[in-house]
Amino acid sequence: MSEAEDAILQFLQSNNEIADSQQFATSVGLQHAELENVIKSLHGFQLVVAQRKLGDGIFKIGSAQARKNGWIDIGKNGVVRKVEHVEDCVKDLLNRIKNKEVVSDGDIADLKKRKLIDKLTWKGYSLTRGPKYTIKRKKVVTDLTREILQRGDWKDLEFKEYNLNAGARPIEYGCDHPLLKVREQFQNIFLQMGFVEMPTNKFVESSFWNFDALFQPQQHPARDSHDTFFLRACSTTRQLPEYYVEKVKHVHESGGYGSKGYGYKWKREEANKNVLRTHTTAVSSRMLYLLAQEPFQPRKYYSIDRVFRNEAVDRTHLAEFHQIEGLICDRGLTLGDLKGVLRSFFARLGISKLRFKPAYNPYTEPSMEIFSYHEGLKKWVEIGNSGMFRPEMLLPMGLPDDVSVIAWGLSLERPTMILYGIDNIRDLFGHKVDMNLIEKNPICRLGMY
């Protein structure tokens, strides 16, 4: 217990009131500031009732005013009273201030201007015993500890009430970025459909796996730096499966497997160039090549990860986005199988009305863009691309020639923007994202498309 507390509680044991805490502080040789915190705490615990004490001497009436009001006249033979009784509204005003009654700011300002009142700095407290007054406050403890029990002094301790209404300290918790939440939903759909995730932890890929293995010719526009990020440092790949590279070179230059190829001079150095992968299809080509090195087993693979395109940034395009890709590799698969799988895949996203539009990709033939009717936007929206990987891609890998691979792809950003009602991709991904979007975004379930 502090000295100040003892002083107050002992004084109030034999005195009804501490009229002026300032004087009391001086009388017990303490700083008023020391006393003040104790007073507030004792008041808080109702051991005392503390009242603010306003300073006095605010009622001096100015003689000029009396004259102005015609109450008096100051003549050669001094001050003469001109009226019996004065309706002293000022006095009433001042009384009301004294009784802490509400007085209009206008009156206050007027009284101040007339120097009838001045802003009093608050002086101190008057203290009386409170409903919970006791000469010695029990030490308030919060927890009943082993030590307290062993010491046995729990009897003279006061246990702080549990404030069951106290709000819990806000727990800091991590928040998933909306993209990660939607990614998880796509991931669950693939896993439910029996797909296995492909290892996509390689943002840097050789042009060979990103383009050549996909039968994308070396002069294809996507292969120049306007569309693709080429690496300056570690600019070329160190090793490629030589036997397979020869097959790829051959199919590009002169075809085979029923294809006439592109008929151009294929350059190894072009294939060696390292790039930031432009699509996760680069991972699909690696996985299909590895699959071809084993006795054939049907496979269902998926990937969801970042890809990089040196494209003009606009409301829906950044230089990087997350590509979602699914592929099924099995004997005798047809375009019908692809359409069927797309229907069941998108059905799990709550998307039923699909239309397929013939399209072109260097690595798939036939290829189809996928459209769905968006009730909210009242229009057909392109929701992805798909196709059957070309034999010129699959057969050089060594896959059996009755094996075909159906595949499709879409972005993660577009569905997330639609689901979260974000119309500018820069608000969703990148350094401009406001953290509130991350911390306060609800779970948006796919299927509410």
Does position 382 interact with ligand FB9 (CB under 6 A)? The reply is yes
Among 214, 341, 410, 425, binds ligand FB9 (CB under 6 A): 410
Does position 418 interact with ligand FB9 (CB under 6 A)? The reply is yes
Among 351, 354, 393, 399, binds ligand FB9 (CB under 6 A): 351
CB–CB of 369/342 below 8 Å? no
- State the Cα–Cα distance between residues 331 and 334, nearest whole angstrom: 9
Q: Report which secondary-structure segment, H or E, holds 158.
A: strand 157-159
Does position 323 interact with ligand FB9 (CB under 6 A)? The reply is yes
Among 292, 361, 403, 428, binds ligand FB9 (CB under 6 A): 361
The residue with tokens 């727990």 is: 171
| Smallest separation (angstroms) from ligand FB9 to the CB of 273 | 21
| Smallest separation (angstroms) from ligand FB9 to the CB of 353 | 12
- State the Cα–Cα distance between residues 265 and 262, nearest whole angstrom: 9
Residue count of the chain, please give it. Answer: 449
Instruction: Find the largest Cα–Cα distance for the chain.
Output: 135
CA dihedral 97, 101, 104, 108 (to 10 degrees): 10
Does position 409 interact with ligand FB9 (CB under 6 A)? The reply is yes
Selection from 180, 185, 178 nearest residue 441 by Cα:
178
Selection from 19, 39, 41 nearest residue 30 by Cα:
39
Q: Report which secondary-structure segment, H or E, holds 92.
A: helix 89-98
CB–CB of 403/394 below 8 Å? yes
| Smallest separation (angstroms) from ligand FB9 to the CB of 165 | 43
Cβ-based nearer residue to ligand FB9, 253 or 369: 369
| Smallest separation (angstroms) from ligand FB9 to the CB of 324 | 7
Cβ-based nearer residue to ligand FB9, 272 or 323: 323
Binding piece for ligand FB9, criterion CB under 6 A, among 69-77, 200-208, 261-269, 385-393: 385-393
Cβ-based nearer residue to ligand FB9, 25 or 288: 288
The total of other beta-carbon atoms located within 10 Å of residue 201's CB is: 6
Q: Sign of dihedral through CA atoms 390, 395, 397, 398?
A: positive
The residue with tokens 């996985």 is: 287
Sheet containing 48-53, strands listed edge to edge, beginning at the edge strand earlier in sequence: 17-18, 124-129, 48-53
| Smallest separation (angstroms) from ligand FB9 to the CB of 182 | 8
The residue with tokens 């911390």 is: 439
Does position 333 interact with ligand FB9 (CB under 6 A)? The reply is no
Binding piece for ligand FB9, criterion CB under 6 A, among 55-63, 83-91, 250-258, 383-391: 383-391
| Smallest separation (angstroms) from ligand FB9 to the CB of 449 | 4
Name the closest residue to ligand FB9 (Cβ): 409
Does position 210 interact with ligand FB9 (CB under 6 A)? The reply is no
Residues forming a β-bridge with 230 = 275
Among 185, 207, 237, 364, binds ligand FB9 (CB under 6 A): 364
Cβ-based nearer residue to ligand FB9, 229 or 408: 408
Binding-site size for ligand FB9 (CB under 6 A) equals: 23
Among 415, 420, 422, 428, binds ligand FB9 (CB under 6 A): 415
Residues forming a β-bridge with 236 = 273
Pairing outcome for strands 17-18 and 157-159: unpaired
- State the Cα–Cα distance between residues 96 and 85, nearest whole angstrom: 20
Cβ-based nearer residue to ligand FB9, 337 or 382: 382
Among 210, 237, 278, 386, binds ligand FB9 (CB under 6 A): 386
Contact residues toward ligand FB9 (CB under 6 A) are 281, 323, 325, 349, 351, 361, 364, 381-387, 407-411, 414-415, 418, 449
